[in-house]
Structure 1
Amino acid sequence: MEQLVALPFHNGTILLSYADDLALLVTGRGNKLRKAQQALDIISGKCEDLVLKISAEKSRAMMVRAADPAGQLCVQGVGPAWANSYQYLGVWVDKWLSFTAHVAHLRERAQARLNVMRAMTRLTAGTTFSVLRLYFVLSVRSLVDYSAPVLTSLSRSQQERLEVLQNTAMRTMLEAPRWTSACVMQNETRLMPLTTRVEQIVACRMAEGLAHRRLRLAMTQGNDLRHHTLMAVARMSEPGGAIYYIDGSVDPESGRTGAAAITAETELLERTPDYCFTLQTELVAIHLGLEHTQNREEATVVLHTDSRTAWQVLQQPRPSSNVGLVTAILGSLQSLTAQGRRVRLHWMPSHVGVRGNESADVAARRAAGAPPPPRDQTLPTGR
């Protein structure tokens, strides 16, 4: 398959391969039908050299956002039929790229699995909330995750239909009445809206691809370009938002601890009690940033942290440790959500050259060096 993908095609002609499934894309100006036929002839010739057979009977052709041409393509003597929609790798693609057929297919599959979920709540089954949530994440939400790249182009009405699936699942998990708001259920189940999750998945995939390309170039051209590349990756998902870099610090020898959250305009420091755990200082730093942004006006708030543990703790549906501190953070998140604002918590590796992250590390160590807080001072708790 690698040899087929590497064949010399005209500009605008790309051959995609996944296992033994091939997709030929022809774009750009000129006679696309002729370019497609030339590419098919090249592929057919190479397949003969490799003793491979193309399943021409199963192949289909599609003219995207245009009427079907009068001509006919030919693959090894067989003319593939022109199709208005076709399922490729589990995704229904239509010629107008509306993905309406795929949304209908997705809802049908998800509804069947939600019926199983309802059956699990019967008295004879007695399934717990944690099991129901896990079932939803693995069997229902995974369908949306897989389709995320195509779901970003959906209309608002189509997106709302998808949200109904998760709202139904949340009501089943919580045994909540129909009048319970989606925001309350999302807070209780620790599930973000599906549209938000789709945006995050696509942004992460784009960032990964962009980061790999830019970092390969940056590593060969000096630290300045490397820094600008990493900063661009850190900022690319939410341009124009309020961006915070947060970090905590623990001195293992003296037991001094501190937390810091910095933005382009402000540096927030807090001397935490001695002998706090690293996780606690990281959570305090997150709380600092969230409390500071309460008086800002940006619609989106982005917090970059290098603590994967803190990120994971805040994802738990029922925290078992640092409950007061986690509750305080969740209260700040709920307050921002009530204002119609969105909060993004992004993890990034530490000490990779991002100045914001490095500055937060220095600031946290400086906070740990400040005079100790009063003996009666405790970590933040929920209101």
Structure 2
Amino acid sequence: MAALRFLSRKGLGASYKVLRTFYVHAIRSLIDYSAICLPNLAPPVRASLEVIQNNALRIILHAPMWTRLVNLRLEGELPSLHGRVTLRATAVVLQLVQRRPELAVSVLLKRLLSRPPDLAPSNDWARGLVAALHRLNTAASICREPDAPCAGYHDPPPWTPPPFRFVFPGEGRVRNCVPALLRQRALARVEALQRWSSTDYYTDGSVTANEAAGAAFVCGNEVVSWRLTPGASVLQTELTAILGALRKIKDNGGTIFIHWVPGHVGLQGNERADQAAKDACSLPNITFHLPDSPRTILAPIVKATWQWTREEHLLLTTEASRSATWYGRATGCVPLPLLPHTPNYVLVRLRRLRLGFHCYDQLANTNPSPCHHCQDQEPSPLHHYILRCPVTHPLRANLNRGFTWTHIDEIDAPSIIANTPLQTLLTTVEKYPPPR
């Protein structure tokens, strides 16, 4: 933690991204390595563990000690360590049970997971860990049998020619090529294949924002598509489309080549496959079931950790917490996007407006310091900066022209932050820093 404080000093100029990356890889990783031992910690010990991340968030976001912690977690995109420990422990159990089932600890965990859930607190490490997994409804997925090969499958002899061959682009890195060049190379490959009277199958997969997944392949006028199990990855959808095409052509004989072609560069067959995969995401029923993968097992836990943080913020908002209400109205609980070309001190000032914490004079009940820009002295320096200070008039430029200076008191200050363009906020705080 001392190294993190040293990096955050003004002279070194470490940005939010650097500080957060250092914390995740150098500090939180130590907790990740020991996560398998931590799910059933006593609440006082767990609270002392949370202090580590709380202090780190204050350093990363340059926030004072009295800033609301749930606001810091949302702004720093770091859920509580309790949720992180649960996620990492589940990942370790999943790897042990499915990859090393012969180990004694794997046998013990699998036996406990197969029993009816006992959610009562336990000091036993294994029972406490299994109880945590049952509360997350992941026990059944972890205990499933590993995927077995198809009936009758056997490894072919090494001298047998492969059933298909992969062809990858060999002219430099794909991400460094412009779309027009990628399209030209792809068309050249397709044209070369057509000279041999080949049958072309175009495959693609798609995943929507709500985790609906689809896969499809196109061959001439034939379009075949499937809706996959929700939560499938993009790689799984693309492999499913290739598998469907291989099953279609396995009885035709001949040599099979699998070519990679760039997407969204104007290849007609590829565009049709892409659209068919997107349409498959909205099919009423799942037509291709995929077994649970580590990603599909861990994804609900990731959602749950963030849901706990959002529910905590919502509870504080309903209890009329000033700071939680401010952050919710000013940001919509959406963290500030990365702005790589913006100076770090400007981002620190902008986050001060977003977090909306009190100045020290307000907490100490002393006479407030005068405004650094207009020398006015008010009980709430931040409200004065946003609502009445003459230098911050651009923040109020979007208000209805019918409002006068006496009516501005009725305007919600965090709503002004939410409705002001980001560039206007950056320009204003860079030239006129808000009160700390």
* TM-score range for the pair, normalised by the shorter chain length: 0.3 to 0.5
TM (norm. structure 1) is 0.34
Max Rg structure: 2
**Taking CA–CA contacts closer than 8 Å with sequence separation of 6 or more, which of the two structures ends up with the larger relative contact order?**
2
